[in-house]
Amino acid sequence: MASIFSPSTVPVFLLLVLVLLGRLGEARDPFACDPNDRATKNLPFCKVSLPIRVRVKDLIGRLTLQEKVTLLVNNAAAVPRLGIKGYEWWSEALHGVSNVGPGTKFGGPFPAATSFPQVITTAASFNASLWEEIGRVVSDEARAMYNGGMAGLTYWSPNVNIFRDPRWGRGQETPGEDPILAGTYAASYVRGLQGTNGNRLKVAASCKHFTAYDLDNWNGIDRFHFNAQVSKQDIEDTFDVPFRMCVKEGKVASVMCSYNQVNGVPTCADPNLLKGRVRGQWRLNGYIVSDCDSVGVFYTNQHYTSTPEEAAADAIKAGLDLDCGPFLAVHTEKALEKGLVTEGDVNGALANTITVQMRLGMFDGEASAQPYGKLGARDVCTAAHKELAVEAARQGIVLLKNRGPSLPLSPRRHQTVAVIGPNSNVTVTMIGNYAGIGCEYTSPLQGIGRYAKTIHELGCTNVACSNDKQFGSALNAARQADATVLVIGLDQSIEAETVDRVGLLLPGHQQELVSKVAAASRGPTILVLMSGGPVDVTFAKNDPKIAGILWAGYPGQAGGAAIADILFGAANPGGKLPMTWYPEEYLKSLAMTDMAMRPRRSKGYPGRTYRFYNGPVVYPFGYGLSYSHFLHTLASAPKTVSVPVHGHRHGNTTNISNKAIRVRHARCGKLSVSLHIDVKNVGSKDGSHTLLVFSAPPAGNGHWAPHKQLVAFEKVRVPAKSQQRVKINIHVCKLLSVVDRSGTRRIPMGVHNLHIGDVKHSLSVQAETLGIIKS
């Protein structure tokens, strides 16, 4: 285990100093309202007994115009005369406290933080309670680092964009391709980060990047210039769903608008998106921030306005509260002078940001007296946190192939294991992007070495695998060993922010390495793939010499330990793919810039994600094997459900409602159907099983409906030879509805087919007409 900090390597006296520093860090100077500052401690904005809105109004009323403008940007200036320190808003916590943003740094008593698996990997667990628990741990460590003066309290995470195109370099940051999965992840992780203490915030999360953002740099088109042409239908039923759930169910304190334009308007300058949808329809209780330099981008790169003052005014009037970047600080005052924006508009933006700071307790005086004020260095990288990082990786790893079965390996029969491949001994690769510094790292080689004697050969120097010069030694290792584990795939040189992929095959000569090693191997050959996006490994799927395939995503600081635990059966795999794995041929003539989700068969356009594409796949969404075998039985489920709906005097809405009711005409409330499902583990190993419930809407809905859509999922632990009953609730209006071409959400009447594994249940949805109302 490669540890950056362990008691065995640090002198005792230094440990005492670090502990002392950690405790001193718990008593940081107040951000504002210092009880020792006689000039400010009795001002109304410092009185915690007053409502926050009163305190905010008082503070804004005391600021000069020049001071207000300096607070519109991420590196907000200090206001010394009011006892307010400067604040850096930009911190990141995608899957652990990160030092990507300038608001967080590592050092002193805080050399590291727990680095969990990349989001795409944890999403594969389909375990909402795990996501929330990870959020709680991350926010504990974030608060501890804030108390120690090393971090902020505003974290621009999670990324809940839809993984629409398999080439997207940032798909690894997302929860995958399904809107309900992504939205559930968003709400769960945000609850973990922010806490559930009413209006009080532990840290403030931000769901990003709103909206229809999923292209970084493809075929000469980059995110700074891209205009995403998106239908109302796709906006409503795909791209906006995770953000709506993040705001309405997760109660997130911030939303970040994106670089791209949507239908010709920059998202950070679109009042319909920001004021109308996020703050108006969804009722965001928080602030809206730009992606970094987005305001400058839509002026300089997109030439959306003629002057920088117009750009500043457009952003503020659209509903942007905070600019990540200097643009608003530089140009807002002149925009005010020109009458393009009012001081009232600026006050509105500040009210939203300062309200969040007050909810965080930043204006409550002594930090150590606050609910999380006692957290310090001893609360970072704890044994429990590190164990959760291992467990998260175990739950996210997906078993794709197990011929024979050949897995799990046996420490008795497989005493010597050849560990081969460019990712076989990596550490930092395992934590993906938007990561910090892990507490300690366990590489795949180190993890496997805990179970067997290893023979290590890279085969390729790196994932580019530009030649076969090291193949010979790799083949020799495979010939000598009782089993061979090839750890290959991608890394941030292949897929990352600003780096979209050009294809889905393994880079360079990796496929050749795999096939030759498998042919030479004396024992079973197991392929372990590290990647964020899907990889076309059809060759390995079909090769009888390759006994097993695991997808590990980017499994975090303890990824090697989790991989080895799965390989040797100490843990039973239960992950499911959160995205479709397409063959390389899928990309033929498929422009990454085409945002349409639904197929256009007349033009040869295949559609995107499992909901709309039903062509050939390497592995489908939701696929994943186990060392156990689980059987489903539907214990009870209703056969019909009635949707109360108002009739209409005008138009033919009543007739239409016999086919598909507008959701806004239905009395939805908590209308739901409950399924009771028995899950039996008929295998010999205890295991966790993911129940995925899909709904196929009635036929005849044309372009409204997907082939099927995920409506519920649940993780259940089932001991060997035993059975567990699981209750699933499906909200009828939210989850059985589809969206028509005009972007209107409707509930189709008729038979909806629910699929739970190999169990199918028909549910008849009927309209129950209430009183007549005007259209």
Active site residues: 291
CA distances from 549 to 119, 526, 541, 542, 603 (A): 21, 6, 8, 11, 36
Q: Which residue has the tokens 């499906």?
A: 730
Q: In sequence order, which residues have a C-beta less than 8 Å from that of residue 8 and are 6 or more positions away?
A: none
CA distances from 179 to 120, 160, 188, 237, 246 (A): 14, 9, 14, 8, 11
Strands 398-402 and 709-718: unpaired
Dihedral through CA 315, CA 320, CA 325, CA 331, nearest 10? Answer: 40
Q: Give the residue among 269, 341, 477, 448 at the shortest CA–CA distance from 68.
A: 341
Q: Three-state DSSP class for 574?
A: coil
Q: Give the residue among 494, 510, 514, 491 at the shortest CA–CA distance from 502.
A: 494
**Which string of DSSP letters, residue by residue, matches 596-641?**
--S-BGGGTB--SHHHH--S--SB-TT--B-SS-EEEEEEE--SEE
| Pairwise CA distance, residues 712 & 707, whole Å | 16
**Count of H-run helices and E-run strands, the chain:** 21, 29
Q: Positive or negative CA dihedral for 272, 276, 282, 283?
A: positive
Count of alpha carbons within 13 angstroms of residue 583, beta-carbon side = 12
| Pairwise CA distance, residues 574 & 59, whole Å | 52
- Partners of 155 in the β-ladder: 91
**Which string of DSSP letters, residue by residue, matches 263-327?**
TTEEGGG-TIIIIIIIIIIS---SEEEESTTHHHHHHHTS--SSSHHHHHHHHHHHT--BBSSSH
- Cis before 405? omega within 30: yes
| Pairwise CA distance, residues 52 & 48, whole Å | 8
Residue 467: other Cβ atoms inside 10 A: 11
Q: Three-state DSSP class for 520?
A: helix
Residue 484: other Cβ atoms inside 10 A: 30
DSSP secondary structure code for residue 77 in this structure: P
Count of alpha carbons within 13 angstroms of residue 104, beta-carbon side = 30
| Pairwise CA distance, residues 522 & 480, whole Å | 7
